[in-house]
Structure 1
């Protein structure tokens, strides 16, 4: 196993139970209300369209709240993740919710090896997934390999402009500091926190991450025979990305408190695999 996979998987394995117990993921709410959808899926519901009956795979599914939501919309869904601890939480959630969801443990780059290539109507990826991958072209090749002709990719992700911002200067300035474009070397973080409310203490804190420019992502998909059918940038995101600069605006979404038109925080992208 490569060093980046080992470090990143240890980080996700340790944090998965804390994420499942946090109010941010709202596990109990999903169990109490069989019609409830995760905030991420609910945000894109108008763009996602009808998924009932579609054979779908959720790549980098983590603890499965978005996966369960797609199941509730009628998709025949499989979840894939490289973290066994995350999948344990996802399987427990599905079992408690009475949802028939298959989960597969694998690195996303191996998805076409462990799942049936060319058999999926929908490949779905949620927020905070692509930054863990060193090569966006390899990811696009996996997506294309999984999709049947006419099938589609649907993704909402943190905007690469957001990932390039350093808000820690202390002078109230949001500075473009980190790489916008993909670089061979990772951005190495050593951070004992996580993005949800928790009192848990963590010891696996070193991670390797990469940014990918929006043009790089689109070009990688076009190069694998997909056609771009939607690209919408949003001035909100479903977590507090820049504390002190962003404010909650409802439905679990945050945007810049001052002149939010300055910075895209997320985007939604859809692309369809050509039939020939």
Structure 2
């Protein structure tokens, strides 16, 4: 059986150049405007607080737009990702943006082996990261291992309710089709596109993914030695998760056109290491 990391890494390696070239990631704007921040980081500025001077690590950083944004807010950032092609694009972005960010290639579960234990004030994880991991408790232990006592995790993620929906019905109805909770077996997807605007075509289209219920995430962090300090659910996401059913607001967030309060699409969570 093919290891899930091999399949998923091939998918991300192939898509990283297309993501960096897409206007949706705004790499050129990062280079041109030293004050520019990613949509994801800008959305959470009211919740993020002051990060100036903090030593931070961005787990599963992809091409580094959120990592560079946190650097621009004053944090001393390291980005970690298992995709060498993504990190190649992240280093180009940081160089063009004049951002002194270190990037480390590693599977997220191996992060404590390549980064200093207890060496970080801030662990940051952005949207669309946790679904690639089969074991949320193991991830929480990684977060705890990286944080100093009193350090904090800041996470914005796709809501497990959103991941559980089937949005492909011909009648347009949204139905709960996939597991809300973490299951041992992965959800296997065959998708030849990607979530940004691009004309690129791809060959590596199989991925293995897992959902993690909100309670499972919170419980895993508590068991790992962190205390929850914030949990907010949002009726929007920074990408069009349900095409044909949504409208984009002035801040670049997408929400249901019809009664958006029906569906939590993302959440922001913060927790501190005891």
For 1:147, the equivalent position in structure 2 comes to 147
For 2:36, the equivalent position in structure 1 comes to 36
Question: Which string of whole-angstrom CA distances, capped at 9 and with x for unpartnered residues, describes residues 205-255 of structure 1?
Answer: 000000000000000000011000000000000000001111111221000
2:74 corresponds to 1:78 = no
Alignment of 1:41-80 (within 5 A): 41-80=41-80
CA distance in 1, matches of 2:106, 2:172: 41
Mean CA deviation greater in 93-102 or 64-73:
93-102
Question: Which string of whole-angstrom CA distances, capped at 9 and with x for unpartnered residues, describes residues 3-51 of structure 1?
Answer: 1000000000000000000010000111110001000000001100000
CA distance in 2, matches of 1:266, 1:197: 21
For 2:110, the equivalent position in structure 1 comes to 110
For 1:249, the equivalent position in structure 2 comes to 249
Alignment of 1:168-247 (within 5 A): 168-247=168-247
Aligned-residue CA RMSD in angstroms? 0.9
CA distance in 1, matches of 2:167, 2:108: 30
For 2:159, the equivalent position in structure 1 comes to 159
Alignment of 1:130-145 (within 5 A): 130-145=130-145
- TM superposition shift of 1:2: 6.2
For 2:18, the equivalent position in structure 1 comes to 18
| Gap runs ≥5 in structure 1 | none
CA distance in 2, matches of 1:167, 1:102: 38
| Gap runs ≥5 in structure 2 | none
Deviating above 6 A after TM superposition, structure 1's stretches of 4 or more consecutive aligned residues are none
